[in-house]
């Protein structure tokens, strides 16, 4: 444990804790999980790789090891999202969709999909689909801007904030499963777009899974990114804010999220960034104290 305290940063501790929790969930709920041995071994391998990478980086601080160590939490997010789908309905068999749909209609007076789809052109539909796919581009782009500008402390906080927000939503998917409007309310929705819409729709259908809607990781992550861009890289703040607005509209337009998912995502993202900044600051203070 002493060695781990030396080699693991807050972002590593968070990811390691998540992997341990997934291993435990696979074992405890094995009767509800198809192929639980494979799932448990998958997360065990990820945990082992994380510890080995950090040990090598600390013991042999080569540039390429440092680069991999800095960026693995970001580049592995799509894999983690995919693996999180193994645990949907493993703990609870019910779903929140009817409650979330009723909230949307109560709040707006009408289903948001119906409002946004009204009179939508093919070009607007293509724009919405492209915007929906901009999420991981925003994550990578904002992190890269801070990294290349040498704002490494801000990069650390943004990285941990995004990881905390998204990994946190994967845990909520297990506890509060919601299928999303396109699987429940709008099963037969056909987006009236062009070639772009058809290609992106096919990709989303092949990669997304039913049950990971509440809270919205898109809302949580994009909120954190905008906060950092406005605070530290003002030149890029407007493009990121505009992209975020289009992104969140697209999640409603394509029936990927309820409005309630987005609002809950904002709250979740706010807590995630507060935790990230506090944890990194406490870890830095602990390191400084050890040196002194």
The pLDDT score that the predictor gives to residue 117 is 86
Distance CA 210, CA 107 (A): 24
- Convert the pLDDT of each residue in 68-125 to its tens digit: 999 999 999 999 999 998 888 888 888 899 999 999 999 999 999 988 888 788 888 8
Distance CA 177, CA 9 (A): 31
Average pLDDT over residues 8-19: 94
Backbone angles phi, psi at 282, to 5 degrees: -65, -40
Distance CA 9, CA 156 (A): 10
Domains and CATH numbers, the chain: 1-75 (no CATH), 95-291 (1.20.144)
Nearest Cα to 16, choosing from 52, 47, 59, 62? 47
Q: How far is CA 97 from CA 32, 48, 167, 186, in A?
A: 21, 37, 21, 12
Nearest Cα to 260, choosing from 185, 154, 150, 191? 185
- Convert the pLDDT of each residue in 155-192 to its tens digit: 999 999 999 999 999 999 989 999 989 888 888 888 88
| Residue 33 half-sphere exposure toward CB, CA atoms < 13 A | 24
**Paired tokens of 278:** 């506090």
């Amino acid at each position: 444990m002493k060695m781990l305290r030396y080699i693991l940063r807050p972002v590593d501790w968070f990811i390691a804790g998540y992997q341990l929790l997934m291993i435990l969930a696979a074992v405890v709920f094995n009767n509800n999980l198809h192929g639980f041995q494979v799932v448990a071994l998958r997360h065990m391998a990820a945990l082992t790789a994380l510890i080995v990478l950090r040990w090598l980086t600390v013991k042999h601080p080569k540039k390429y090891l440092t680069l991999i160590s800095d960026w693995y939490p970001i580049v592995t997010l799509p894999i983690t999202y995919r693996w999180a789908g193994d645990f949907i309905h493993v703990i609870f068999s019910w779903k929140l969709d009817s409650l979330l749909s009723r909230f949307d209609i109560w709040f707006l007076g009408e289903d948001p999909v119906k409002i946004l789809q009204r009179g939508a052109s093919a070009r607007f539909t293509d724009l919405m689909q492209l915007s929906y796919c901009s999420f991981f581009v925003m994550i990578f782009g904002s992190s890269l801007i801070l990294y290349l500008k040498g704002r490494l402390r801000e990069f650390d906080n943004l990285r941990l904030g995004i990881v905390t927000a998204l990994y946190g939503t994967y845990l909520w998917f297990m506890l509060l499963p919601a299928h999303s409007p396109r699987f429940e309310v709008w099963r037969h929705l056909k987006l009236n777009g062009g070639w772009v819409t058809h290609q992106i729709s096919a990709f989303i259908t092949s990669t997304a899974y039913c049950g990971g809607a509440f809270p919205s990781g898109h809302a949580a992550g994009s909120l954190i990114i905008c906060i950092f861009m406005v605070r530290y890289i003002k030149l890029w703040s407007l493009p990121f804010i505009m992209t975020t607005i289009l992104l969140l509209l697209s999640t409603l337009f394509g029936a990927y999220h309820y409005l309630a998912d987005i609002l809950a995502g904002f709250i979740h993202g706010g807590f995630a960034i507060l935790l990230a900044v506090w944890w990194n600051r406490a870890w830095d203070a602990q390191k400084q104290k050890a040196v002194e």
